[in-house]
Every structure is written in structure tokens, then in C-alpha cells.
Chains A and B, each alone.
Chain A
């Protein structure tokens, strides 16, 4: 049976704008309305990032996933008229600007480009940027995506990004940022399976701090739940982390997406639950609204069937998602949305390029600037008038490294240092020789290989298979994991790592095949026996350089073979796989020659996307490849060696930073497409570098705790983390950065000497530029609490304020920095809330975290009277039926991030429309009538009132209370189509069950005719249409006369092909059909049949229908609304081999076809192969009961077999017979408009040469 939606809205109902398209409603109300209209299957299909199109509601397909960390992640799209988006400096570079306003500008331009791209329909407006997690450990593979080590810096910089992306329209969001990865996702190798364990103090003060700030201060509209668990609970399955903390404590309004496959990780990585359905329930109930993966979209309905979730859980997630989509203006008139005016030319426009360059000049950090040996001048800026030659050396000298999640502009928009410097010198008309000698490499020595298995093959061909992850012992640091895949692999393989396997039979083994993946550059696998240094029996070069397949960090293993030297082993042995990095290349002599002969040698070194990335942390902090050797070698031949590093973050520099011949070191993060254009401006003094390190540069990776240790404070010999707790000497401290000029600090003033958490204070200082260059200084304020008990292990210092200022040489500027004392909180482990230590708070004012120029202090009165901050109310249901009740659930959170019981507060509930939903004094919501209502819940505590709202849709009961004709009730349960037989009065009266609904009756103009009754809910636009068909008794015809009786009406009559003879009606089929757009079939022999009835005919055709030929019964409203039950072809087509097919009698099909509004709504097909059809003769019967049509067939006229049942509402119905040749009627090419490529709307099918005739022995109709 093909069940059909039957409603066809009359114009009056169609004209009512549904709430979800009505801009006078709130976005939440509109989202609730939209979700209320979705079917369950549609809801499931919308729960992932690839949100399906729902044409019937005008919902376009939408990919929630886009990235824009430092430019919209996309390349050029010529067909859409788009250049590659601009690549701006990346996060680690931006974090080093210490300039949130600059970042806001960059993000604003990114959002402009995003809007221009959105206009072309190629991308959405939801971007999974920025990364707001603080840099806990520099080995983290995504260090380059973070703004900094101190959560305050990360939060302030992220805030700039969020503001820039969102724009400043009060109603619409320009582009939707998403802060990620919530939270404590700071190690890549184990992110799918690991647990970041910590106490709630580290959690709140460090890991959650940026989220709290962004949600509370910037109305952050989205977060991404991470892969990892925190304290053994996957964040994507934690109601505590997502609902209690993010939504109910911080007050997030928006959507939560799971990281890609994070929902899957709940059961396949963390084994937190056992099944996909349980993972779906865990994620949805925790608050993950959208699954970037496919678990929700595959398992939500089965989870619903199993009772693990409710439809309301799905609704709530979809409301959150659609509300955000609506806030972009997607569902609003184009002219109403202020961001709809960006043309495609916005992308990588001159303005974008200029801003990319401007930002790139403000990111560099000057790490060292000393006198050139034997000279009086400092190394930087390079005085071009004093030199005749420059050597540009190093693997990065002529490369543009953009970094991850960047725009991908055309090559012509990317400038390498070599190109930029050459152009700069040429533009200045200087006679300086620029020599490029790239030299060196950035080949990663971290994560050499992922190894899954090894197979040993003996001389006789027998093999043994060994799981490489089941090693008996290994070197330190080895891990096992599968990352995004499912293949378990030995990972974290460093130079010199090994894994051992006991009891391996090596007798007569000739060959070893190792299943390994090369994530970046690869390595050498040596097979030893007995120990890592034991006898070497095989060596496999598993490197990119050797031509082996590089699978990347997501890749699976590839077999790599090696010959085995037998060495006569005759018993079980312990096999060692020893992994080694390929030997470094020697530094080429021509590189050194270039350095030697030049006045200045600039060595461009750095990291790239192979050094560390998603899934792969750094195992070392060394510059990859042979770059340190290169730096040392160049410095060995040139006393004026400048090192320019562009890296993802901290690298170890102790091996070269103090070399005398390296008087200058400059560092940037990935600096965008203009990196090469910016660098000469800095090197040659057009711009004074003013950046400061956004993270500590540790001397050695050995100084760090294990990367899996997420605790911050030092304990039991383990060093603490970050500037807050790390006490060992470092290469460069957090906030460090030199300038070409110097700054003198004086006049340190604090506005208050006694403070409370409710105060805002201003700290001011005069900063004088005492050098010879204009320049930028970043004034930094660190807070210490020396009076706090030592047992509390308060941080050594925390960043709590900063300001970047530009000061011309010789001038002084008063720098005022405001500090909100509420931000000086600590998290109290005992009371699980924010507290403030009493006593002195010392504010260190300086140029870095160690270069403190002065201090001021204030005494904190730690007594804190927290105020009401966040109220969240909902009733867990978005769509209700009349009479349904739901209890409002309200939480109230104070400014100390603790919750109060509502019994201590005053709570008021107000419904925006009590006629739709009433609310009691206790918050019990009752659905009263159809429509949309918003409930406002106001909580008053301590004299402060905070409110929240939630919206519900109450579905209208669109059923009729009465439907009468001539005083008689026509209503029948479950019916929406009614029939009245006879020539009596046709006037209809009707009332709706719900008095709020409007009822419109369009009376039948005559009999036969149809009255149309429309019940509509005027507010939401919901409507239900009922047909009352008035008809007269049908007239059967045995077709024994010579002409058609008066009851018949022939559509597109052609008497040439219509014949009554031999007691039968003969129709010779003509080209045409009524399917789809081919509304041209001739000789539809019809009579009025506008009631319920059964019609029947005996049909014989001249041949088995071929191609598209068909003949049979039809119930017909018009060419776009009908039910057809026809003997149809077996449609053999080109190349058919019917004769060779398995034995089956020649036959046709029965096709039960329904068309509504010109579109095929259902097709039921019955194979007649086994039916025993003889002489192409078959009896057909069609029964109509209301809107239900049931088809039967019989080969003997006695035994009837049901062919199918369909539901469709037709009016002004005629019934009869038809025969036609049929036409091709598919949507092919030409945009699916029923047009063939050649332009014809429809073309005849291939036909047999003999005319296709259909003979109808009778047409019998029995009315009811």
C-alpha cells in the first residue's frame, strides 16, 4: 500500500505565512514551528552536519561544517565566480599580536568573505572556529590553532574573533563561530579514547575559562564537544559538561555540535556505552544537537523505538540548530538581512589582501637583537644601505606555509619570503644581490610510522600473521591507537623507538611484510633479534623518499616487504622492530657558499603541516629535519646570520639561540598569504616588531610532564604546567618579545587600594618610547596573591590584563588597563564554586611575564555576595498536543557559578499567549489551543531578577466538529473526503472542533461537483482540506451499441482511434500519456463518478504492452490529479536478451499510478509473470472509499487479487478507461524540468510498428 499525504492547500491557506517564515516571530518560535512540521524521518536526516533538504518546507540542504580559523577553508571555485579565500595569519600568530581588535578586524573580513561565498550557495555560515583551548602542552598537535597559553589571553583573543565573525547587527549573525574543542582536548594521539583527568579547579580556572568568558560576554552561539573524555566521561556524553556547565551555568544559547565522529567515539572509542543507539541517546540527552558523523542520522529512530530517547529530545536538538540557521537570515527575505550584499568579488579582494598584510606585519616577535660581531649596529633592522648582498637560506625561504584550516588563495596571492624580499628591494631600486639557497628540509622526525602488523613468510610459502600492537615490550612513549580509523596501530614512533615480540618462529623465514602507514615522511624499520641492538635480519625503508605510499595521519597500513637474512635461527626468538628516522641530508656546499659570500644570511626555518597536526602530536620540540644543523652551519660561515622562524609554536632553540654569529632571531606563527610580503617590512625597519610570545618557550621537551597528564600544579616531583605553575628555566618566557626601540615604564597607579569582587579597577602606567624607532609595546598585567595560603598552590602569576599600544619615538603614552575584579576568582574545590582569596593582590606590570617594570597592589575583601546570573528554563518539549502538560524546569545560577534552589527565590511564569499555552504558578504548562506561545520565567533572588524564555508549538486539531449536508451529518471517523450521491441540495455547513480555527467552505457550484472545506489555524498557517463530492449515479456500459452513451465525456477525443464494435470499446493508442508533464493522451473515455464506487472492466490488448504503452482504468480529476490502474509494459529496452532470461511467460506489469499536483506520488507495480494472463486479457477493478483507492485484478473475472491501495484526495472526479502509447517522462538533464537535452518536453517512446489497441468489454460502475 502506498500511503499518501493527502492535503492540498487552497489558496487561502497557502497565503497564510507559516510561523517559521514569519519574521514577526522570534527565531526560537519560528524554529519550534519548523520542527513541528517535520516527519520523524526528516528529523533524523537533519540531526547531522549534512542536513538534508526538505523541499516541501523550503529547507535547503545545509552543511553545518565549515572552517574559518584564519580564512574560509575553501579553494577557488570558478563556476561560482569565486577566488580562493584570503589566508590571514593563523591563531598562534594572532595570539602573539596581543591585539584583539586586530583579530576582530581579521575575523570581520573573514565573515565578509564567508557571506560572499554563502551567496553563491556553495557553503553555509556556521564555522567551526575558533580553537579556544589554552596551550597546556606545546607538543599538542594543534598548538598552532590556539591563541595562547594563558586562558585569559586565549579568551580575550577569541573574543575578538567571535565579535568579528558575528558582526554587530542586533538581529542577525553575520557568520556563526563555534568555540572548540569543549574541552581539555590537548593531546591528539589519544583524543578518541583518552580521558583528560583533572580536578574541578583546573577544569574551571584553566580549561573552561575561555568558554565561560565567550559565552557570558560575547553570547557565543555554538560550541563543539570534543572527542576525549574528561574524568572518564566523554564530553559528548556528559550532561554535566554540556548542559549543566555550558548552558545552565554560563548561559549558552545556541547549538552544540559533536566533533566529527565524537558520538561514534562514545561507544567505539571510550566504550562508555555499548551500542550506537545508546551513544545517540547519550549524546542527545547530554546536549549534543548535531552529530558530525552519521550515528544520529542512522540510529536516532531506532533509539526512539527502543525508548532510549524521546521525539522531544530530537526536537530540542533541531530547534537549537534551526534557531541558529535562522539567525543568519537564511529563512528571511533577502532584503531584510543586512549581510546579503557581499558580491563574490569580496573574496580575496584588495581590501582583504591589504588587511592580511597589515596583520602579518603585527604578528612577528623579535626574540633576539644584538650587535653583529665586529660591527656597532644591531642586527635588526637590516640597514640596506650598508649591504650589497643577502642570502636567503632554508627550506622556508621560498615557501608559503599557510597552516591548517586556512583559506586557500591562488598561488598568485601567496608571497614567499624570497618573492617578498626580492620585490621589496626591486621596488626600492636598490642594488643588492639577493641569493636564494633553500637548503635543508622540514622532514618530520616525529610520528615516523604507524605499524599495524607484520607477516613472516617461510620458504615453503607458509605465513604467520602478527599483530604489531600486541608487543611484549617497547621503548618509552610508544602508544597504540586507531585515530579516526578502526585499524589499531603502533603509534608515537620516534627516532630510536622499538617494539618487541616474543616467541616468534623464524625458522626458514625468507620474507617479512610489515603493514605500516607513513603519516608524514616515514622512517627505517630494522628487524633485530634478541634485543634492539641484536642481529639485524631485515631492513625496510618505509619512507616517502623511497616512493612508498604516504597515507597521512588518517591512513591505514600498506604492506611493505623486506627480505630476511635467515641467520640459522631454529627456535622461537624475540623479534624487535626498531624504528629510525632517515639520516639527515648534509648541508649542501652551495648553501654555505651563498651564506659565506653574503653580507647577511637570513635563514628561514620552521615547521609545516607535517610537523604536527590533528591526530599527531609532536614527540619532539626540535625544529624538524636538519634545520638546526643548517642554522649552525650558516652561522659558522656568516657572522651576520639572522634566523627567521615560522612555526606552530614553541621549538627548542637552545642549540643556536646564544650563538654569537646569530645576532638576530625573529619568530612568527603561520603568517598567512602575505607572510613573504610582511617579512621585508619588518626585517628592513618599515615596521617595528611588536608581538609577544603567546606561550612559554621551554628549553627542552624533557622539562615537561607527560602529555597525557592534564593536571596543572606541580606534585611529587612532576613539574607544573604553563606560566601559572612551571618553575624551571625557560628559553623565552610567556609574553616575551623585543623591539627595535625601547620603552620605559613609570607612574604605576591603581585606582583602588581596597577591592571587592564587584569592583572594576584601572591600572595605569606611563610608557615612554626611549629608542630610535616608532614602535608597539604590549603592556601586560599579571596578578599574584602572595597572602594566599601556600597549601592552596595558587598560580605563580596569571595574566589579567594587557594592552598593545603604538608609541612614536620619544613620546610617552598613558596606558590604562581596566580589570574586572570579578575575574580574579579561584575555584574552590570544597564548596565547588567561585571564591576570592582575601588579602593582597599584587598587579605586576611589565613587558613580559618576567620583565616586570613595576607593581601595584590592592587588598581584596574576599567576602563575596554572589548575585543571580543565569536562569535557564525549558519544559523539555517543543511541540505539544492540545491538553498535554509539561512541567517547566528552571535552574538559577549565581555569579559564583553555583546553583540555588528555587525555594530560595521568587519565580514567576508568564505565557505570551495563554490561549495557546497556559502556565500555572508552579510552572506547569498546559497546551490549550493551537499556535505558538513563549513562556517567560523570571527568577528574583537577592533583589535581582533574571529571566529566560522557551517556546512551544501547540498543534492545532484540524478535525471537523460538524459537516452537514441537507441536515445530515457526513462525518465518518478518519475520513477527509466524503461523498453524497443524488441530485439534492449540495450546500455544506461545517464547524471545526477547535473554536479558534477558521472554517472556509467553498460550495459545490452544481451536482456533480465538489465542496471544499478548509480548516485553518490562522496564526501558524496549519490547514486541513476536506472534500465533499456530490455525484450522480454512474451508468455502466457493456459497449454493445454503436456509439458512446451520453454519460461519457471523452477527453481529447479523436474518433479515428475510438471504435465501438463487436460489443467492445476499442481504443487505438496514440502518442501521449497523462503522467508527469506529458498531459496529452487522447481518448480518455470518462463519466462523472464523484462519489464512492467500484468500477470494473475487462481489458484485452493487441499485444503485451511495450515500451510505455498502457491501458486500463482511470479516476480522473485533471491531468495532474488522477489514479490510474493500467496494464503496462515490461519495458524491454536496448540490448535486452529476453529470450535468454530464465524461463518466464511473456507478460506485462500492472501499474497503479497516482499523480497529485503533476507529480508522481506513488507507483505500485505488480508483476504478472506468474499470474497466468492469457491473450493479453485481464480484468481490472478499482474501488474508491473516500480518499482510499484499492486496485484488484483477475485473469478469469472471478478470483480477484488485490494489487495495491493508495490514498489521495481528488475532487470533481470522472472515471473511465484509457489507452495510450505513453511517453518518456523522466526528469533528465536540463535541470530536471522534464526537458530532454534536445529541448523537447517529452518524446515518444520507441514503439512496435503495429498499433497498440485496447478493447474494453465493459465498464461497470457501482455507486455507494
Chain B
């Protein structure tokens, strides 16, 4: 069913735009929404001040939990929400409000910060802004780390990362090169990374994505990844590597995007 967004600004402290092909509603507030993921028949949305909001498919607020810590990204796995803070604290959160700190993983300096968390298969990945990719397959008991920018020094342009997203067999990480151009890399197991071409065709012309990615979602219906970008653009990354497409959704940066039959965009 297609219903409009029932929105309570007190509960949703940021702009939320629910979309099923069109814009249904738009609200403005702060702090910023940083991530969103599909959850059962709805979504779970994280704001930077530590709030998690569960909604139904129409964006109607159902539950919320205050984690009382800054959140960089969330992932849903086995019915629970994994939340990672910028300093790499990983929390496992249940919808009933119970939460458990799994670990706080040291990042090697205090300039870097986690930007997102994603699960693919049995592995959980945490991505930091400067390209450390932490992975764990033992419920966060131990981690291995890949220094992306160091590993691929001289092979891929240096990248500052913004978002990570995964499906069962693909991991996508997105960010910007030093010159500000957008960058997306893909991997199947998190060890070997390929750079994804970010060109698209419009009116017969091949163009390159110019908008910076801020967020990312996996669209399970169409088996594609979707970048939420600056200035309200969505950039679709299907399996076919040069069949990308772009769509303007609003005028404001899309800080979170998720798909669960329909899309939810957060700004």
C-alpha cells in the first residue's frame, strides 16, 4: 500500500523524505540522520545524536532507542541493529531497547573515524574515513584490518571514505578522491578491491558522476547499490558495470538512504 508519511518532528529530528517513486513529505530539523537500513517491513533510522528510530514501511514511527552516543552508521543483521560510533564502538541493539556493547575497536589515531558498518555473509565490516577496513567474523571478538589507501598506494587514487554497504556477496565502499571526485570500490570478501566506473549515459552522452557520495543502500529488488549524494542526487549502480544511472530527488544532500520495497531518503 502506498501511504503518505506520518511524521512526528519530535521523534524524527531530521529531514526525512519517503519516496516510492515520488516525494511524499519533507520535514526539516536537526541533528543529522546518518544512516538508515531496512528492518522487517519498515526501516530503522539512526541520527547522529544516538537515536535509533524504527518505522513501518510508510515511515510511520513505531519505536525508538536512545544509545546516548554518537552514531556513524548502522547495519541490520539477524533482527538486531549493529551501530558503530565514530570512535569504533560497536553496539548491538534490540528493538526493545536492550543494547550491548560488543567492543570498541581501536583506530590508530584520533583524526580518523568510523563512517559506517556493513555485514556481508558471516563478516562484519567497519570502514573508517581514511580507509581502514576492519573485518570480523567472530561477533566482534577479533578484527583484521586492511589499510586500503596504503595497500593500493599508487594503484588507486587516495580516497576519503563516506559510506559502506553490503549485500550477501558484495561490499561497496564510497568516498571521494583528493581532488573531490567521487569514488566507489567493490569487493566480494573485503580483501581485493576493484574501482567501479561512475559513468552514466544521458541523452546518448556518457557523463561522469560529479556529485559526492554521502550514503549508500542496497536495493535488493533490483540487485543494485544506490548512492545518496550531495545536492539530492541518487546514483544507481546495477550489476552491469556501465549501466549506471542518476536521478535528482531533491536539492539537499542525501545523508542516508535505504530500500525496503520502497526507498527512504534522509537529509
Contact = CB atoms under 8 A, between A and B. Distances in A.
Contacts of B153: 55, 1227, 1231-1233
A65 B242 contact: yes
B130 A260 contact: no
A1229 B188 contact: no
Contact of A552 (B87, B101, B147, B201): B201
A1133 B87 contact: yes
Contact of A1075 (B68, B108, B208): B108
Contact of A1245 (B110, B130, B188, B196): B110
Interface residues of B, number: 85
Interface string A1144-1160: 10000101000000011
A1128 interface: yes
B240 A260 contact: yes
B143 A45 contact: no
Contact of A42 (B111, B141, B155, B192): B192
Contact of A1135 (B70, B104, B239): B70
Contacts of B202: 552
Contacts of A51: 194
A404 B143 CA distance: 48
A702 interface: no
Given A75-B206, A261-B240, A559-B22, A1226 B112 contact: yes
Contacts of B21: 515, 556-559
Given A41-B192, A554-B245, A1163 B144 contact: yes
B209 interface: no
Contacts of B110: 1107-1108, 1131, 1133-1134, 1224, 1245-1246
B188 A301 contact: yes
B68 A484 contact: no
Contact of A79 (B89, B130, B179, B201): B179
B240 A292 contact: yes
A298 B170 contact: yes
A298 B188 contact: yes
Contacts of A691: none
B100 interface: yes
A1233 B150 CA distance: 8
Contacts of A613: 204
B199 to A, nearest CB: 9
Contacts of B188: 41, 44-45, 297-298, 301
A1132 B88 CA distance: 9
Interface stretch (A624-632, A954-962, A1165-1173): A1165-1173
A1132 B110 CA distance: 8
A63 B197 contact: yes
Given A50-B194, A486-B222, A1229-B178, A558 B106 contact: no
Contacts of A1138: 69
A559 B150 CA distance: 46
B113 A293 contact: no
A778 B87 CA distance: 74
B186 A555 contact: no
B67 A1131 contact: no
A260 B242 contact: yes
B60 interface: no
Interface string A511-533: 00001000000000000000000
Contacts of A861: none
A905 B104 CA distance: 71
A360 B188 CA distance: 47
B96 interface: no
A1130 B147 contact: no
A519 to B, nearest CB: 11
B152 A292 contact: no
A487 B261 CA distance: 13
Given A1130-B104, A1141-B69, A1159 B147 contact: yes
Nearest to B101: A1144
Interface string A1197-1221: 0000001100000000000000000
Given A42-B192, A50-B186, A1108-B108, A555 B102 contact: no
Contacts of A549: 247
Contacts of A299: 169
Contacts of B8: none
B242 A45 contact: no
Contacts, number: 258
Given A74-B206, A1167-B103, A50 B69 contact: no
B55 interface: no
A1149 B196 CA distance: 35
B223 interface: yes
A1138 B69 CA distance: 7
Contacts of A1231: 153, 158, 178
Contacts of A551: 245
B2 A1169 contact: no
Interface centre among A551, A557, A1141 (most CB of B within 10 A): A1141
A609 B206 CA distance: 13
Given A50-B186, A408-B206, A1229-B158, A260 B142 contact: no
Interface in B86-134: 86-89, 91, 99-113, 130-132
B245 A1169 contact: no
Contacts of A402: 204
A455 interface: yes
A1162 interface: yes
Interface string B50-89: 1000000000000000011110000000000000011111
Interface string A51-93: 1111100001101010000000111000100000000000000
Interface in B167-208: 169-170, 178-179, 186-189, 191-197, 201-208
Interface string A607-633: 011100100000000000000000000
Interface centre among B1, B89, B102 (most CB of A within 10 A): B89
A54 B255 CA distance: 32
A463 interface: yes
A294 B188 CA distance: 10
A293 B239 contact: yes
Contact of A41 (B100, B101, B191): B191
Given A61-B156, A261-B243, A292-B241, A50 B195 contact: yes
B151 interface: yes
Contacts of B107: 1131
Contacts of B68: 1137, 1140-1142
A557 B21 CA distance: 8
Contacts of B221: 486
Contacts of A554: 201, 243, 245
A1128 B194 contact: no
A1230 B153 CA distance: 11
A48 B147 CA distance: 24
A1132 B147 contact: no
Contacts of B191: 41
Given A463-B1, A610-B204, A1224-B110, 14 more contacts: A2-B144, A45-B188, A51-B194, A53-B152, A55-B152, A261-B243, A294-B241, A298-B188, A1131-B110, A1137-B68, A1149-B104, A1164-B144, A1227-B131, A1233-B153
12 contacts: A50-B196, A295-B239, A302-B169, A486-B223, A613-B204, A1140-B50, A1140-B68, A1163-B145, A1226-B147, A1232-B150, A1232-B158, A1245-B110
Closest 5 CB pairs of A and B: A1140-B68, A1167-B103, A609-B204, A1224-B109, A53-B155
Interface of A: 2, 41-42, 44-45, 48-55, 60-61, 63, 65, 73-75, 79, 260-261, 264, 292-295, 297-299, 301-302, 402-404, 408, 455, 463, 465, 484-487, 515, 549, 551-552, 554-559, 608-610, 613, 1075-1076, 1107-1108, 1128-1138, 1140-1142, 1144, 1149, 1151, 1159-1160, 1162-1167, 1169, 1203-1204, 1222-1233, 1245-1246
Interface of B: 1-2, 20-22, 50, 67-70, 85-89, 91, 99-113, 130-132, 140-145, 147, 149-156, 158, 160, 169-170, 178-179, 186-189, 191-197, 201-208, 221-223, 238-243, 245, 247
